């Protein structure tokens, strides 16, 4: 786990990582996969299973503004989505 990740649940780097246009892919519990793609906006893709994003069917795609506030909103949205799915499991 990264020191001081941006999320309490996920090992996501801080906003400055994405300001440099770095893509980040991660997973949680071997079923919840995500990919954050920074362009003019932050796009986050969600899928389930063990396939990589190139082979998987992207189930959810959401965009957020490319600002610290948009990044914080994205993290909160991702954590809430994961927790709601974990409660159902």
pLDDT at residue 44, rounded to an integer? 98
Where are the domains positioned within the chain? 15-88
Among candidate residues 9, 20, 30, 18, the one with its CA nearest the CA of residue 65: 18
pLDDT at residue 7, rounded to an integer? 87
pLDDT at residue 1, rounded to an integer? 55
Among candidate residues 87, 14, 2, 54, the one with its CA nearest the CA of residue 45: 54
The answer, as to whether pTM is greater than 0.85, is yes
Angle at 16 between CA 71 and CA 74, to 5 degrees: 10
Segments of the chain scoring below 50 in pLDDT = none
């Amino acid at each position: 786990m990264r020191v001081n990740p941006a999320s309490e649940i996920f090992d996501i780097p801080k906003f400055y990582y994405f300001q440099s246009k770095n893509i980040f892919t991660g997973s949680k519990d071997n079923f919840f996969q995500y990919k954050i793609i920074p362009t003019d906006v932050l796009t986050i893709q969600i899928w389930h299973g063990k396939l990589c994003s190139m082979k998987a069917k992207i189930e959810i795609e959401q965009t957020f503004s490319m600002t610290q506030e948009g990044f914080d909103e994205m993290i909160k949205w991702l954590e809430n989505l994961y927790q709601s799915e974990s409660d159902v499991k």
